[in-house]
Structure 1
């Protein structure tokens, strides 16, 4: 091979780069390395470019940083916002949480957004994208306080200050990473949920929802985290599938028989109902036992003890097996026959528990009789509300029994020693039939990873039951990618009857409510809320804790409610999902009120997507988004969850800059991360690890190789003066433009559908198959050996220039650093120094010529037959005779080769032989023993013209000598160049 001069960027590593031959035949390259004393060496037009085929070591990340600075990455967002265009695209950034280092989940999300935005910028849209951060909430508060030794005596303002400082540090670190990944945005004007204008907007949404009756205060059971002393929403839970509970079977003695069963039970000794629960600590709060009215229940006798029990008829055998007893069925009745029965409470003497009907009772587990504690269960609460049962909660905010639970239980943690104490009490009252371990799914606090409980308390709620129908209707008008996302979100909405929005913390936006010091009655109305909003807009939410009550609560808001001094401001803050869920009100104010796209992980179907939808529908009766894209989570290379203990955590910074040991953690640069994101099936779980990253690096290096070939062969080409009109180009060059237009159209469609994996697949297929393996192998002779300004060579360069421009633009949104880097090496003037400031792929309709396909693909079919007959040999050592029956195929081949025999025709170029002969019948003097036969179907004008033509391929050894310049076997003697090369050389 001819060696190329070493590019400056590679001189330090002393690694010269040489052109690889990618001919379909396995024979030697046409452009082989000439001997040092070859007098023709300098006459061959070898590719010339300093663009490096790969960047070893630290050069990759260093080059990317240079490109970011030189090509104005930081100014691109502002530049495109100033363009005069009516086309706008708004992607609303879901705020990442400001409580930790940037990770690959952030990279997946931010890069997907950036690919989308850059595509729209190149398409001429004015992109609206304001990055933001979710800055309030317990995780930040806990992380901030964990850095302090003493926290018990901190004031609310001290806690808030520490939390804000922590969040600000995290934001700067994450922002730095996002910029390094090439994310296009105005990084000086982001949004933060602790900004006072943002907080005021949020309280404005609260105000509207309160006015419309969607927000209310109530005493009801909610998920409660003893580890953080606060209420939680469903979206703040994660379920541990291997949680172990102490489950118990408990006797509830029948104190008063149901009237309909009086005759059946008369004369029987004591009868007990059996309940089963995985939460023994809730039994002291029992207020009833529920049954399913439409199910059957059996009165059974224990063969071993003579005791009588009532259980569901279909559960008799399984309960007997669980208790290791033998049951004989005495009688069976309907659930409705249990009406008006009464049981004794198993741990509280003289307390009674009525038997009540309830539709939530199931027969899949347990006994068909459900222990009902209204303070500790959502369905239990509903039963209690309907039957006006007490709902007293015996558990405090710290997850311990209160004084009301009695001295035996007081101050005991319900999930630990409290559970043990209740079980001992059941044993003492002879109510415990059996205790066993139960492994089941159980809710945990997603922050502390500790189990939660259900506990009744006074909280603020959004009545989602009244919003549900309108939210679902609005959601059905939204495009989801993938489409399955809408059904999952509709199902989640369907199950959500209320949303608890109050949190018992300090770091957040206060719920603007005041409480009477003596009665505890709440005070909240339009005037009180409006005053708080004005104060927050001016001073921020800190004012709730720093200003006196007289400024916070205006006298006109009191009416007949007493004096201002009788009140105190509430201490609850708003759920952070309400914080982030109202971001549309602040960010989309100047973006037409609705975003074109929300793009987040699948966990946001129950989180940010939902809270945004509910708040927007409640106040504006429409969704805040036109489309929603949902991606999966990042996992280790083998599909396992990332864990420090396993050692499979992938740090984006290490991926880009390398680790301590570059032999194990090499620096890949940001474009490798971006390729990984685009290449992955992001709608499922996304795997990452060394093998994935190395594969991405290899793919990009192959692409760089293709780009270098294009650049090298554009040396000396000036588009303004050297471009050949399409109609005058070589057919194979026109054919490549035809393929190029099809490629560009498919890529554009894939981007529009957010299918970036398809973009990668189209790119790889085009540059490896159509370009490297096919077109480049065919055109090397014309590029290297024709006279520099020959129209045949300029035709090829015209095609290469279009291919280069289209291919670079096609991957620019995914690999912005590489796109801008390779653009800098173009040997001719460009309209802009930046790919992103000069538009999208610009193909021409006149490139689409179906007839070209038939001509070139017909020739390729015969070429494949020829090359297949000489495996591993040099195609230039042969000449080919093509015999085609008269008809369309023959006429198409005549377009490619006018004369009967040629070594320089377009047909011979495609065949890659030293000479091609085109005939309509087999010559008499040629042996047909080794003739290859085939047919080719021509299909033109949508099937109106169809013709199948037969052909024969005859392969013969080349009759002439090898040309010392072009390596074709077309010279009259071994000492002189061929006729074509002599003409090209002229007087040289």
Structure 2
């Protein structure tokens, strides 16, 4: 949990507070008072209403210092929304980031913002991510660090371009027309998202964000591109890539999503062995066909080989139903027999071992089943597995990444039979040309196999298949001339630097490493208009690319000055001036044309470290993004940074889960379970959608376990609202009891305080929550455990304060006892307010506006005054033993009177002489007292401290005993002390003013109250 609910009280609170106030009436500010007179004190005017302790109520009300504050316990509806906006204006939310950037600070904290995509309205996923970042930033700012956080947006890419094309139509549009419309669309989306982020209270300089379509950003990106190109890491090649027919462009693996329910038509087909391997030729068993299995029958026409596993055994089997001889993996024979519905008799075996002396399958050559006179070899390949199929893999190098690796090794032809629309081209032959490969083309290939007798079996197969993550349509693999990054040469270094990066949760590290392992190259060119142009020129005749540091540097400078639209606006003579041609040792400019591809948006955003981070280090302290960025921005940033400068762009990574519905389902409009953050804050038309305000949304983020899927819905939001309301109630109590108290002039020196108050300051000082400013580990703060501890400790301290309202309400206003308590209350209020400020900034600022004794002066936000302050003077280890020893005795006392009011009992505590007795004596100097600190802690009417229980205890006395282990000076002083207690119902009456059972009769004031009211 990022933040425990305020209602959750630690075991210490439970120990101090359980059963403590039951029926005592001490905690209720709306006290009822007796109208009687005693000790010669005038009662004054009171309300003529019935009272518990007399015929009239309220005659002493004016003499009691009840809590007073105009801080509202609860804000709802429009009042809540108006108050949050008012707080944002009054407390300078818009200026806070700039202020902290200008102040002097010893250390900087940099959280680099992963740019959200500028293609739609703000959603709850944005809220989860941005608020999580803001909580961390505000915490670091409070700790005194100078926060570096520049929000950004990813502005290029296909979805935005498709939106522009949808508005303009697709006929006859120039790249500049498409780009202009795409820019306008992105700018509108950015404006909506930025307004939402500001409303959520996210601290940033919103007038100075970064955008990937800015010329300055694009120039920095090209600088990274050039650095990588000069090292030979970026190259052009003709090889298979993921191709989206629906988008008409190449895709990187990060742009894919896998549909586990994709339905394919799988086939088993035969390739007749025209040339038998020597081992099989010697056996002279007859005509043999290799049996293959594929889920992509449309790739059969592009087949160039059949691959086998080098270290496996293969069998020639005879079908019992038609005597056909098939070559299959021995391991797969039994399963195939069941599948084909016939017995398969083994007539011989061969192995795929390569040495020694050689593979027994080597030299085998198959006939292509649908292309006459075409022969394809049997070849070994390590990617062949035995999990499914036949152990022999149909290989089409143009349409498979692993197949292409085989082609590279054995110099096979890579013929592409599929065009950019996903249709067979002329190389596939007239029967297949212009047919969609994923539909009618597949059906036609199957019918061709059937016609030539090569189809053995056809079946439906549900399996995981890559889809274009934007159009949600299946992709194909086809070769294309594209620009690539050779990630294979970067992987080892990337893994090395990643080991030095802290990853939360640690389990995400293995996913990052696995992604790197699977990525042998990265296709970075896209056949679109809306993006950063790849700065390359092509020779008109040879097609050879012209790209070097001189050409790229010149283009980068133009982009910085004019933006990347100039790639289409300016003539080639300006893009490729004579001095650049001369340095490039190239021919005349008339020999060249500009390229038309743009860079992958993952390269766009992956280079953000170069455009946004400070020049001195250019490493962020942390990147915080969703788990989808493990294969996206986290990886593209790592690869570009390692390639350009041999180090990671981040010191730590935090990977959070996705926001899901209350039932744990992915949010979908069709399911009607989408939660709109605007509706969460401002309310909706549905009566069941109240206005929660921004702080509830922030509390939901902080309260959640963000490392798993984060559920949101009415239950979670109502829980967050209730928790905040409980917190407001606590803060109202503190504010009410601090009315008229000025900590600058009226605070009590810790050494003069009551011991219990000193103990509370001691707890404040040693609490991890209140001392985190000195912590050297910042990552834990992201989990907000310190905030959680602070909130819980605040509840604990307040529970202690509630044990003694008599001091707060009934002692003289300027008395040491009352001021001592108020001093601690003020420290608690200040600490709790600062602790919740990163999470609930609106509430924290509102509290501070009501807090006494503070001059805002030049401060717009109280956060400008820093983190929680504590003093080493507060640390008093011996007090801990005294108060906690009293706590143990109090527990025994309360356990002996279950369901009864402790204030109606006289308590005798018997302790043999020793350390525990001495500690209790420090809380009560006289043997018997009704007003000692020990009595206050016991919550009894009267406490007697003695070495042994009296022998003449009344029959109704309730006895109990226990022990308490004293451990002082790190274990040097240890003593296990025993104690006995006896509780007897008091004969005293309830005082009509302080409501303690210490008066002589129901109509009389107790001696203390009489003394107070009699004072001049």
Pick the TM interval, shorter chain. over 0.9
Tell me if 1:225 matches 2:250: no
Rate the CA distance shift 1:671–1:839 in 2: closer, same or farther, 3 A: same
Q: What is the CA distance between 1:373 and its match in structure 2?
A: 0.2
The answer to whether residue 516 in structure 2 is matched with residue 518 in structure 1 is no
* Distance change >3 Å, CA 857–CA 865, structure 1 → 2: same
How far apart, in 2, do the equivalents of 1:23 and 1:560 lie? 90
The verdict on how the C-alpha distance between 1:283 and 1:689 changes in structure 2, with shifts beyond 3 A counting, is same
d(CA) in 2 for partners of 1:391 and 1:484? 40
In 2, Cα distance between the equivalents of 1:373 and 1:746?
Answer: 64
Alpha-carbon contact 1:252-1:344 (below 8 Å) kept: yes
Secondary structure in 1 aligned to 2:360? helix
- Aligned to 1:640, the other structure's residue is in SS state coil
Q: CA deviation at 1:248?
A: 0.4
Deviation at 1:751, TM superposition (A): 6.0
Query: Which residue in 2 is equivalent to 1:333?
Result: 350
Give the alignment's TM-score, normalised by structure 2.
Answer: 0.93
Q: Which residue does the alignment assign to 1:930?
A: 958
Aligned equivalents of 1:738 and 1:106: distance in 2? 41
Mapped pair 1:695 → 2:719? yes
Assess if the C-alpha contact under 8 Å between 2:896 and 2:959 holds in 1.
Answer: no
Q: Distance in 1 between matches of 2:536 and 2:319?
A: 58
Corresponding residue for residue 529 of structure 1: 552
Query: CA–CA distance in 1 between the matches of 2:824 and 2:208?
Result: 43
Quote the Cα distance in structure 2 between the aligned partners of 1:27 and 1:109.
47
Q: 1:275 aligns with which of 272, 285, 292?
A: 292
The residue aligned with 2:807 is 782
Change (3 A) 1:516 1:119: same
> Which residue of structure 1 lines up, in the alignment, with residue 235 of structure 2?
216
- Equivalent in the alignment of 2:42: none
**Residue of structure 2 aligned with 1:882, choices 903, 909, 920:** 909
Paired position in structure 1 for 2:988: 960
Is it true that 1:71 corresponds to 2:117 in the alignment? no
The residue number in structure 2 matching 1:432 is: 455
SS in 2 for 1:508: coil
Aligned to 1:111: 131
Q: Equivalent residue for 2:941?
A: 914
Q: Aligned match of 1:29 in 25, 30, 51?
A: 25
- My pick for the range that moved more, 489-498 or 971-980, is 489-498
Verify: 1:289 aligned to 2:306, yes or no. yes
2:783 pairs, out of 742, 751, 756, with 756
The answer to whether the 8 Å contact 1:290/1:370 transfers is yes
Measure, in 2, the Cα distance between the counterparts of 1:660 and 1:304: 70
Structure-2 residue corresponding to 1:384: 407
Mapping for residues 784-803 of structure 1, pairs under 5 Å: 784-803=809-828
- Measured in 2, the distance between the counterparts of 1:724 and 1:589 equals 47
The alignment status of 1:644 with 2:672, answered yes or no, reads: no
Distance 2:761 2:746 in 1: 17
Match of 1:584 in 2: 609
Check whether the contact 1:25–1:872 (CA below 8 A) recurs between aligned residues: no
Q: Residues 447-500 of structure 1, C-alpha deviation per residue, up to 9 Å, x if partnerless?
A: 111111111111100111111122222211222222233332122212221111
Confirm or deny: 8 A CA contact 1:747 1:762 kept in the other structure: no
SS in 1 for 2:958: coil
After TM superposition, list the pairs within 5 Å mapping 1:536-935 onto structure 2: 536-555=559-578, 556-557=580-581, 561-590=586-615, 592-661=617-686, 663-743=687-767, 744-745=769-770, 752-759=779-786, 761-768=788-795, 770-772=796-798, 774-830=799-855, 832=859, 834-927=861-954, 930-935=958-963
CA contact (8 A) 1:25 1:873 kept: no
Match in the other structure for 2:267: 248
* Residue correspondence of structure 1 range 5-20 to structure 2 within 5 A: none
Matches within 5 A, 1:197-212: 197-212=216-231
Q: Deviations over 1:105-157 (max 9, x none)?
A: 11111111111111111111111111110000111111222234x22321111
- 1:631, 1:263 → 2: CA distance? 62
1:107-186 residue pairs with structure 2 within 5 A? 107-148=127-168, 150-186=169-205
- The superposition leaves residues 221-252 of structure 1 with CA deviations (integer Å, 9 ceiling, x where unpaired) of 11111110111111111111111111000011
* CA deviations over 1:680-726 (Å, ceiling 9, x no partner): 11112111111011011111111111111110001111112211111
CA deviation profile, 1:756-813 (whole Å, cap 9, x unmatched): 3524542443233x134x3132121110110111100000001101111111111111
Question: Runs of 5+ in structure 1 lacking a partner?
Answer: 1-20
Give the one of 469, 473, 478 matched to 1:446.
469
TM-superposed deviation, 1:427: 1.0
The corresponding residue for 1:6 is none
Q: Which moved more, 1:273-282 or 1:316-325?
A: 316-325
Shift in Å at residue 560 of structure 1?
6.4
Give the distance between the partners of 1:671 and 1:133, measured in 2 at CA. Answer: 24
Equivalent pair of 2:787/2:835 in contact (CA under 8 Å): no
- Between the aligned partners of 1:959 and 1:887, the Cα distance in structure 2 is 32
CA offsets 1:824-870 (integer angstroms, 9 cap, x no match): 00122246452211000001122222211211111111212222222
Residue 85 of structure 1 corresponds to which residue in structure 2? 105
Would the aligned equivalents of 2:398 and 2:477 in 1 still touch at CA under 8 Å?
Answer: yes
Match among 119, 131, 139 for residue 99 of structure 1: 119
- Aligned pair 1:366/2:389, yes or no? yes
Q: In 2, Cα distance between the equivalents of 1:358 and 1:802?
A: 72
Distance in 1 (CA, whole Å) between partners of 2:552 and 2:745 is: 71
**Other structure's SS at 1:649 match:** coil
Contact 1:528 1:554 in 2 (8 A): no
User: Given the alignment, which residue of 468, 471, 490 partners 2:513?
Assistant: 490
- CA distance, structure 1, for counterparts of residue 23 and residue 883 of structure 2: 23
SS across alignment from 2:416? coil
- TM-score using structure 1 length: 0.95
- Contact 2:111–2:148 (8 Å) recurs in 1: yes
Q: Supply the distance in 1 between the matched residues of 2:937 and 2:516 (Cα, whole angstroms).
A: 61
Please tell me whether the aligned partners of residues 227 and 398 of structure 1 are also in contact (alpha carbons under 8 angstroms): yes
* Cα pair 1:25 1:871 within 8 Å, conserved: no
| 1-structure distance, mates of 2:105, 2:721 | 38
Instruction: Name the CA distance, whole Å, in 2 between partners of 1:592 and 1:332.
Output: 63
Gaps of 5+ in 2: 1-16, 34-46, 49-57, 353-358
**Do the aligned residues in 2 keep the contact of 1:23 with 1:777 (CA within 8 Å)?**
no
In structure 2, do the counterparts of structure 1 residues 267 and 956 end up closer, same or farther at CA, with 3 Å as the change threshold?
closer
Task: Give the 3-state SS of the residue equivalent to 1:412 in structure 2.
Answer: coil
In the superposition, relative to structure 1, how do residues 833 and 913 fare at CA in structure 2: closer, same or farther (>3 Å)?
farther
Distance (whole Å) between structure 1 residues aligned to residue 461 and residue 671 of structure 2? 28
Q: Deviations over 1:173-194 (max 9, x none)?
A: 0000000010111100111000
Contact kept in structure 2, 1:293 and 1:358, CA below 8 Å: yes
Question: Could you say what secondary structure the match of 1:507 adopts?
Answer: coil
Match of 1:979 among 994, 1007, 1015: 1007
* C-alpha spacing 1:779/1:110, structure 2 compared with 1 (3 Å): same
Question: Which one is further off, 860-869 or 111-120?
Answer: 860-869
Find the residue that maps to 1:53 and give its secondary structure. coil
| Total equivalences in the alignment | 962
Report the CA distance shift for 1:702/1:751 in structure 2 as closer, same or farther (over 3 A): farther
Q: Tell me which moved more, 475-484 or 93-102.
A: 475-484
